[in-house]
Amino acid sequence: VDDRALLASVRAVIGDADIRDDCAVLPCGDRCLVLTTDMLHATTDFPDDMTDWQRGWMAAAVTLSDIASMGAEPVALLLAAGLDDPLRLEAITRGAHDCCARHGGRLVGGDIDRHDELTLVSTALGEVAPEHLVRRRGARLGDLVCVTGTPGRAMAGLEGWDVHRRALLEPEPRVAAGRALGRNGATAMMDLSDGLALSLYDLAEVNSCGFRLRGHLLPRPAEVPEPEATAFALYGGGDFELLFCLPPERFPVPGVDCTPIGAVTDEKGMVLLDGAPVERRGYEHRWSG
Amino acid sequence: VDDRALLASVRAVIGDADIRDDCAVLPCGDRCLVLTTDMLHATTDFPDDMTDWQRGWMAAAVTLSDIASMGAEPVALLLAAGLDDPLRLEAITRGAHDCCARHGGRLVGGDIDRHDELTLVSTALGEVAPEHLVRRRGARLGDLVCVTGTPGRAMAGLEGWDVHRRALLEPEPRVAAGRALGRNGATAMMDLSDGLALSLYDLAEVNSCGFRLRGHLLPRPAEVPEPEATAFALYGGGDFELLFCLPPERFPVPGVDCTPIGAVTDEKGMVLLDGAPVERRGYEHRWSG
């Protein structure tokens, strides 16, 4: 059983294809609201040497990244904290608050609870004009496929490359880039948290398309030798970058630091790097059940 | 250290008195949005004999109750589930979905994660016209203080009175009552989750007022002998009833099953039952730190 199979069972209950997107979309007058929640906890999400400020920052960043991937503007953030020690709350709250101060939205409330394992659940609400909303679905044949920043840095940081450690511990959600992409013609978008390869396969599936990537275009974490650099870029999780499709005539997008790595094809479900299939793997929860 | 002290430290960081209310309030065009999140988990919130459907129901009910206490209409619900066994997800999702189907809102998404201890965090978004929004603050001298339903039933259920077991396991959030109260002049409102006594003290503090209650008016759980019945009604937690203030000329409110139990006074911070101080205790998390 993997997360994607579980999501299918949820979809059967709630009867809504919207959960394929990074956020739920709700009409509100002449605007769209977008809403998302993410659970993080000690054993699977937080490296041991993180500070509590960084844990709070990351908890905010994961949902702000989801808001970014819809082309939306963050409005408000809630933080539910299950704490093994109540004295941790202040630094965690400060981290989440500071991430909002930098990237948008306002920490407006939350919940606190006693928990054996530190568990942080953040929820973000965003808004966007309907014509600037970007979903996972919408890619068109011939679009460029692009990424912001450099995928694989979080994994490089995890594997001991100190120059990438901060990218792992203090990820920057690409809120400004996401908003600019929504206003400048991005046709499909998601964030990279499960890694580039899995994200490309998800995007190919929802768009009934394929992708051909060029190896020499792929940004790779600096200082990491091959073949690790390419493996980290394709299969590493934990990056807060955006993956999106864009008509070639819209490139470049002013103010957005991104790299075209290939193009959308009609080869359904195929993700090829220099003609060879990319492995369908990355960061996935696996269940023993 | 108790939850109320911790909340004060959060308030120092996020600088907002709004967290005194059950929901954060956000303007959106000519409407108000209200947003709330609650964490529940196995050891402190779920009796062992609950079904997973009931756990999902309760997770939805806690945030829908917060929406109700603002006089608002639920719009959307998110459920983040930390699961020890992925096979539990479907029944939990169905419970949350069914609670929304009964009381309002739509389950639109969430997150799933591996967790040693079953942990459910629900987030609800609601909306309300600004003139119908009810906050904790707003009580006026001479208002009636009222409760919906019968406080203490959840505690009676927990203590073995089978007739109250369902009130404990399948609480009904008072969404329809909350909305009617917002439209019919309630001046201050909150839900009862920490028990009637603590809720009255919270309401007294935020309103700089007091309350005088009449013992013979207080609804008590049926079949429970005294003095337990009164103790459960005052100090039992886990009820999803509404506590509110209402100008006497607005009583009764059509369609709302509620009981006036006393009146607002100018005796700041004093909660008296037949002239004697009510103990300031109820359901509170206590931290060993």
Interface probe, candidates A3, A34, A38, A39, chain B, greatest B C-beta count within 10 A = A39
Cα–Cα distance measured from residue A63 to residue A39, given in angstroms and rounded to the nearest whole number: 10
What's the mean pLDDT in A2-25?
73
Return the SS3 of A122.
strand
Q: Point out which residues pair with B33 in neighbouring strands.
A: B26, B127
User: What pLDDT shows up at residue B43?
Assistant: 84
Residue B2: strand pairing partners: B286
CA–CA gap between residue B129 and residue B166 (Å, rounded): 33
Q: Which B residues, 5 through 44, put their C-beta within 8 Å of a C-beta on chain A?
A: 6-7, 9-10, 12-14, 16, 18-19, 23-24, 26, 28-31, 33, 35-41, 43-44
> What is the rounded average pLDDT for all residues in chain B?
93
Interface of B with A in 49-88 (CB under 8 A): 75-76, 78-82, 85-87
Helices (H), B15-136: 42-45, 52-68, 89-103
Nearest to B173 by CA among B251, B74, B25: B74
Closest residue by Cα to residue B195 from B249, B234, B242: B234
CA distance A129 to A176: 15
Is pLDDT of A159 > 80?
Answer: yes
Alpha carbon of A212: minimum distance to chain B alpha carbons (Å)? 30
Q: Do B109 and A24 touch (CB under 8 A)?
A: yes
How are beta strands B73-83 and B106-114 bridged, if at all? parallel
Least confident of A1-15, A231-245, B43-57: A1-15
Chain B partners of A31 at a C-beta cutoff of 8 Å?
A: 28-29
The residues in B 96-115 lying below 8 A from A, measured between CB atoms, are 97, 106-115
Among B1, B10, B285, the residue with its CB nearest the CB of A113 is: B285
Residues 251-280 of B with CB under 8 A from A: none
Q: Looking at this protein, which amino acid is placed at residue A117? A: E
Identify the residue with better confidence: B178 or A18.
B178
d(CA A217, CA A242): 16
Q: What is the pLDDT of residue B17?
A: 53
Distance separating alpha carbons of residues B190 and B79, to the nearest angstrom: 23
Average pLDDT score over chain A? 93
The rounded distance, in Å, linking the Cα atoms of B110 and A13 is 13
pLDDT in tens, B208-217: 999 999 999 9
pTM above 0.90? yes
- Please report the pLDDT score of residue B289 as a whole number: 35
The predicted pLDDT at position A289 comes to 36
The continuous run of DSSP H or E covering A37 comes out as strand A31-41
Residue A106 pairs in a beta bridge with A76
**Stretch B70-97: mean pLDDT, rounded?**
96
pLDDT digits (tens, 9 = 90+) for A163-173: 999 999 999 99
Residue B286 has pLDDT above 60, yes or no: no
**Whole-angstrom distance, CA of residue B25 vs CA of residue B30:** 13
Q: Check pLDDT > 60 for residue B287.
A: no
pLDDT of residue B5: 72
**pLDDT band at A287; cut points 50, 70, 90:** low
| Per-residue model confidence as pLDDT tens digits over A35-63 | 999 999 988 888 888 999 999 999 999 99
The predicted structure's pLDDT at residue B234: 97
Cis, peptide link before residue B227, omega less than 30° from 0: yes
Q: Are A192 and A148 in contact (CB under 8 A)?
A: no
CA–CA dist B61, B170 (Å, integer): 9
Q: Is the pLDDT of residue B97 over 70?
A: yes
* Those residues with Cβ within 8 angstroms of residue A172's Cβ, 6 or more apart along the chain or in another chain: A61, A102, A103, A240
Q: Output DSSP code: residue A72.
A: P
A contacts of B44 (beta carbons < 8 Å): 113-114
Of all residues in chain B, what percent are helix, strand and coil, respectively (each to 5)? 35, 25, 35
- What pLDDT does B1 receive? 60
- 3-state class of A211 per DSSP? strand
pLDDT > 90 fraction of chain B, expressed in percent and rounded: 83
Q: Are strands A271-273 and A276-277 parallel, antiparallel or unpaired?
A: antiparallel
Task: Say which DSSP state B116 is in.
Answer: S
**Under 8 Å between Cβ of B234 and B243:** no
Tens digits of residue pLDDT in A177-211: 999 999 999 999 999 988 999 999 999 999 999 99
pLDDT, mean of residues A7-33: 79
- Pairing type for strands A24-28 and A31-41 reads antiparallel
